[in-house]
Amino acid sequence: MKLTCLSKGSGVHFPPCHMVEFCGLRLLLECPIDLSALNIFSPISAGRQIDLSGFISAEPWYKTAKNLHLCDASLIDVVLISSPAGMLGMPFLTRNPRFSAKIYATEATMRIGRLMMDDIVSMHSEYVMFYGDGERTGFPEWMGWEELGRLALKAKEAVMGEDGEELGCWLPLYSAADVNGCMEKVQPLKYAEEACYNSMLVLKAFSSGLEIGSCNWKINAPRRNFVYLSSSIFESAQAIDFDYRSLQGADIILFSDMSTINNIEEDCSHIGGSKSDVNKDDKDLILGDASIPRPVLAEDDISELLVDNCEILEENDKMSFITSYIIDSVREGGSVLIPIGRLGVALQLLEQISDLLKSLSMEVPIFIISTTAEQTLAFTNAIPEWLCKRRQEKLFCGEPLFGHAELMKEKKLHVFPLLYSSDLLLKWQEPCIVFTLHWTLRLGPASHLLSRWHAVSSCLLILEQGIDAEMALSPFKALSMRVLQCSFLSGIQTHKIFPLLSILQPKLVLFPEDLRPLCTSQNSSSFSLLFYSVNSTLRVPSLQDESKGRLTTDLAFQLQPKRLFSKEMAIARLRGKLVLSKGKYLLLSPKKPINLPSLRMLLWGSVDPARLLIALKEKGIDCSIEKETTVLDDDTHSVRIKVSETAMIETNGTETTICTENGTMAALIHETISSICEGI
């Protein structure tokens, strides 16, 4: 098994991307796009105040995961998608006619991912309309060296990466037809459904709690089983909780939750360069010791630690804070723009805002402006299977899963596909609260609303953490609007990583190099750690020599086992039909019973000539030793036996030759030899 980390991504919207080779198959894990790179393009919100210098004024291209373009799409066998964001780059691959892999994603991820792609395509069409639908041949002007040279340092780095290698990641956006083509190739899976690839791999998706429909994967193959652990949240206010118990028992865990990388870097800088002990000795493999007794904490204690209710409380506090901030802003007459791409977060915020408005009996219109908003909202109210317990309870009580349907009916929430539509203008009034369901400030209504509101100091912009606010907002000068950047929980918290791993009981964990500081000696435990870093291939040692298999009883009954007295074992010849099904070998008895040869076909040891003579004579065959020769050099002793008149046997330590023209005689002699020699 080999692991190549193609890109470690950044944040929820750009998850890490890996290539795994095993069982002769190539698995691509995630296919995201780096939408934050869109910041180098200038927004087209036509306003004179906007400062466009240092930005590329052209139809944007899109940047795929770092080293993905170096892989041959036709060599990929399976693609696993664990969150909607991990799917956004998929059409770039599927539009390649040589791409033939099977794509697996949960049904909910597939639906939401599709809506997000549709949204991007339709928002992008604004650029196409603005710049004209030029011939798409060759590279755009802005990719020329001269043009690139004019860019600001930060923008240049976004385009080219450190040494220009990322220039190849840029691609023109896919079309709506490409999205359709992509969706046809996706195999949607239900929660914990067992999917079989090529009867070799058995894939199962279990919820990760990060987002509605997002999941972790358990992959079983005849000789390997591993868990692909993406960013996970133990308790979520929207999505179904992280189902970590179902991931127990895998040999290998690919730990791909990099949400804490930033925290680690901060921690390290606090320490001031003095990194932990483990960090100093630069071993790539930290060997675990299976003999170490299981951690002192019992499993129940660990799960209490993992699901401690703190996360959800913290998130709720955060939400309440944001909500009150928003309300304050609205009170002062300022409008609020909430471009949040995380569906669950947006929906929760929406509910809290409307609740607070209701309790304060304030009438402030809330808008959701997105081409796919209507479908997205309808969809969220019809997937109880992927929602948290609290919302599932609503189903069983017959209440809508999310409050937005009610809000729309009460005319408190207005959903529009486009900003510039007459219907919207009729309803429009400021101050208002606007959600866009897409987070970059270059695509869709957000950029237009920003150019309208950026100079109003009472207005408020809510941004997610991880967005380069400076760069994203720099075209909108002078900015006097208030900006609140808030981080929402987006993965496993650092102090929970090792308790989680110990509860999953793997033999080996593939761990990101960047998180090495976390591996202090105190949490050395029953598993080994192997570190991977971007763009290098990690060989994962084999943990199992044998494949698992099963033997049907009717075949077993046909066997004629023989005890070997020299060793405590029995052996039997076996002939059957070998079937590989669901990652396991199965031996069936053939349709027609095939008589196993009674003769021993495989002999070992040596033939004792004296015993052979006796045995032959017992069978009534006349025989005598004709000649004995000993070659001194290699200490072999060879004996020639004449058997009646028609046959002859020549035997030495390792070999016996039967020489006769008579078939029955040959068979008889062979039978005799095998009866005095060990064999099967």
Partner 1 sequence: MAIECLVLGAGQEVGKSCVVVSIGGRRIMFDCGMHMGYLDNRRYPDFSRISESGDFNAALTCIVITHFHLDHVGALPYFTEICGYNGPIYMTYPTKALAPLMLEDYRKVMVERRGEEEQFSFDHIVDCMKKVTAIDLKQVIQVDKDLSICAYYAGHVLGAAMIYAKVGDNAMVYTGDYNMTPDRHLGAAQIDRLELDLLITESTYATTIRDSKYAREREFLKAVHKCVDAGGKVLIPTFALGRAQELCLLLDDYWERMNLKVPIYFSAGLTIQANMYYKMLIGWTSQKIKEAYGTRNAFDFKHVCSFDRSLVNAPGPCILFATPGMISGGFSLEVFKQWAPSEKNLVTLPGYCVAGTVGHKLMSGKPTRIDLDKDTCIDVRCQIHQMSFSPHTDAKGIMDLLSFLSPKHVILVHGEKPKMAILKGRIESELGIPCFYPANNEAVSVPAGQTIRVDVTNSFLRNYFNRNFNRSKHQPLCISDTSINHEEISEICSSERLTEGILLMEKNKIAKIVSENDLLHTLDAKEHTVQLAFCCPVKIKNSLQSLDCSLLDLLSREFESKINCCNIQKTFDHLQLKSFQARICLNDLCSYRIEQGPSDCKTETFFCCSWSLSDDNLARKLLGIMREVELDISNIAFLLPDQASEHMEM
Binding residues among 564-583 for partner 1 as defined by CB under 8 A:
564, 566-578
CB of 78 to partner 1, least distance (A): 19
Among 21, 165, 299, 374, binds partner 1 (CB under 8 A): 374
Question: Is 636 near partner 1 (CB under 8 A)?
Answer: no
What is the identity of the amino acid at 673? I
CB of 604 to partner 1, least distance (A): 4
Do residues 485 and 337 lie in contact, with contact meaning Cβ atoms separated by under 8 Å?
no
CB of 324 to partner 1, least distance (A): 31
Among 317, 358, 590, 610, binds partner 1 (CB under 8 A): 590
* Most distant CA pair in the chain, distance: 120
Instruction: Report the candidate in 500, 534, 491 with the shortest Cα–Cα distance to residue 85.
Output: 491
Judged by CB under 8 A, the stretch of 14-22, 80-88, 474-482, 657-665 that binds partner 1 is 657-665
**Residue 646 phi, psi (nearest 5):** -105, -5
Do residues 641 and 613 lie in contact, with contact meaning Cβ atoms separated by under 8 Å?
yes
How many residues sit in the footprint of partner 1 (CB under 8 A)? Answer: 93
Task: Tell me, residue by residue from 243 to 272, as one string, x for binding to partner 1 by CB under 8 A and - for no binding.
Answer: ---x--------------------------
Where helices occur in 461-509 by DSSP H, the ranges are 469-473, 494-504
**Residue 528 phi, psi (nearest 5):** -95, 155
Question: Is 24 near partner 1 (CB under 8 A)?
Answer: no
Among 392, 523, 524, 675, binds partner 1 (CB under 8 A): 392
The two tokens of residue 341 are 């791409």
Query: Measured from the CB atom, is 68 or 388 closer to partner 1?
Result: 388
Judged by CB under 8 A, the stretch of 54-62, 63-71, 393-401, 438-446 that binds partner 1 is 393-401
Rounded Cα distance, 299 and 219, in Å:
24
Question: Is 610 near partner 1 (CB under 8 A)?
Answer: no
Among 401, 434, 471, 613, binds partner 1 (CB under 8 A): 401
Query: Helix, strand or coil for residue 111?
Result: helix
Let me know if 170 is exposed, middle or buried by CB neighbors in 10 A (0-12, 13-18, 19+).
buried
CB of 226 to partner 1, least distance (A): 18
Q: How many other CB atoms sit within 10 Å of the CB of residue 553?
A: 9
Question: Is 650 near partner 1 (CB under 8 A)?
Answer: yes
What is the identity of the amino acid at 584? K
Question: Is 647 near partner 1 (CB under 8 A)?
Answer: yes
Question: Is 561 near partner 1 (CB under 8 A)?
Answer: yes
Question: Is 587 near partner 1 (CB under 8 A)?
Answer: yes
Rounded Cα distance, 480 and 506, in Å:
52
Do residues 465 and 459 lie in contact, with contact meaning Cβ atoms separated by under 8 Å?
no
Query: Measured from the CB atom, is 53 or 654 closer to partner 1?
Result: 654
CB of 665 to partner 1, least distance (A): 11
| H or E element at residue 301 | helix 299-306
Do residues 528 and 287 lie in contact, with contact meaning Cβ atoms separated by under 8 Å?
yes
Do residues 436 and 445 lie in contact, with contact meaning Cβ atoms separated by under 8 Å?
yes
CB of 306 to partner 1, least distance (A): 20
Query: Measured from the CB atom, is 341 or 576 closer to partner 1?
Result: 576
Judged by CB under 8 A, the stretch of 22-30, 161-169, 359-367, 600-608 that binds partner 1 is 600-608
CB of 637 to partner 1, least distance (A): 14
Question: Is 585 near partner 1 (CB under 8 A)?
Answer: yes
Rounded Cα distance, 29 and 532, in Å:
15
| H or E element at residue 486 | strand 482-486
Rounded Cα distance, 547 and 224, in Å:
8
Question: Is 275 near partner 1 (CB under 8 A)?
Answer: no
Please say whether the dihedral angle defined by the alpha carbons of residues 280, 284, 289 and 295, taken in this order, is positive or negative.
positive
CB of 194 to partner 1, least distance (A): 5
Taking CB under 8 A as the criterion, which residues in 173-212 touch partner 1? Answer: 189-194, 204
Taking CB under 8 A as the criterion, which residues in 285-324 touch partner 1? Answer: none
Please say whether the dihedral angle defined by the alpha carbons of residues 497, 498, 504 and 509, taken in this order, is positive or negative.
positive
Question: Is 398 near partner 1 (CB under 8 A)?
Answer: yes
Task: Tell me, residue by residue from 423 to 462, as one string, x for binding to partner 1 by CB under 8 A and - for no binding.
Answer: ----------------------------------------
Judged by CB under 8 A, the stretch of 29-37, 227-235, 518-526, 652-660 that binds partner 1 is 652-660
Q: How many other CB atoms sit within 10 Å of the CB of residue 266?
A: 10
* DSSP, residue by residue, 71-92: S-GGG--EEE--SGGGGTTHHH
Rounded Cα distance, 153 and 179, in Å:
34
Query: Measured from the CB atom, is 57 or 646 closer to partner 1?
Result: 646
Taking CB under 8 A as the criterion, which residues in 115-144 touch partner 1? Answer: none
Question: Is 418 near partner 1 (CB under 8 A)?
Answer: no
Judged by CB under 8 A, the stretch of 89-97, 153-161, 454-462, 601-609 that binds partner 1 is 601-609
CB of 203 to partner 1, least distance (A): 11
Do residues 530 and 538 lie in contact, with contact meaning Cβ atoms separated by under 8 Å?
yes
CB of 651 to partner 1, least distance (A): 9
Question: Is 658 near partner 1 (CB under 8 A)?
Answer: yes
Among 375, 523, 526, 675, binds partner 1 (CB under 8 A): 375
Let me know if 279 is exposed, middle or buried by CB neighbors in 10 A (0-12, 13-18, 19+).
middle
Question: Using only C-alpha atoms, what is the Rg of the chain?
Answer: 34
CB of 649 to partner 1, least distance (A): 10
CB of 59 to partner 1, least distance (A): 29
CA atoms within 13 A on the CB side of 417: 10
Taking CB under 8 A as the criterion, which residues in 32-91 touch partner 1? Answer: none
Mention every residue, 6+ apart, whose C-beta is less than 8 A from residue 379. 111, 112, 115
Question: Is 604 near partner 1 (CB under 8 A)?
Answer: yes
Q: What distances in angstroms separate CA 286 from CA 62, 465, 513, 679, one per listed residue?
A: 39, 33, 12, 45
Among 297, 356, 469, 556, binds partner 1 (CB under 8 A): 556
Query: Helix, strand or coil for residue 426?
Result: helix
Query: Measured from the CB atom, is 149 or 597 closer to partner 1?
Result: 597
CB of 372 to partner 1, least distance (A): 9
Query: Measured from the CB atom, is 275 or 390 closer to partner 1?
Result: 390
Query: Measured from the CB atom, is 204 or 448 closer to partner 1?
Result: 204
**Reduced 3-state DSSP string for 421-452:** CHHHHHHCCCCCEEECCCCCCCCCHHHHHHHH
Rounded Cα distance, 428 and 449, in Å:
13
Query: Measured from the CB atom, is 483 or 586 closer to partner 1?
Result: 586
Judged by CB under 8 A, the stretch of 491-499, 508-516, 611-619, 658-666 that binds partner 1 is 658-666
Query: Helix, strand or coil for residue 267?
Result: helix
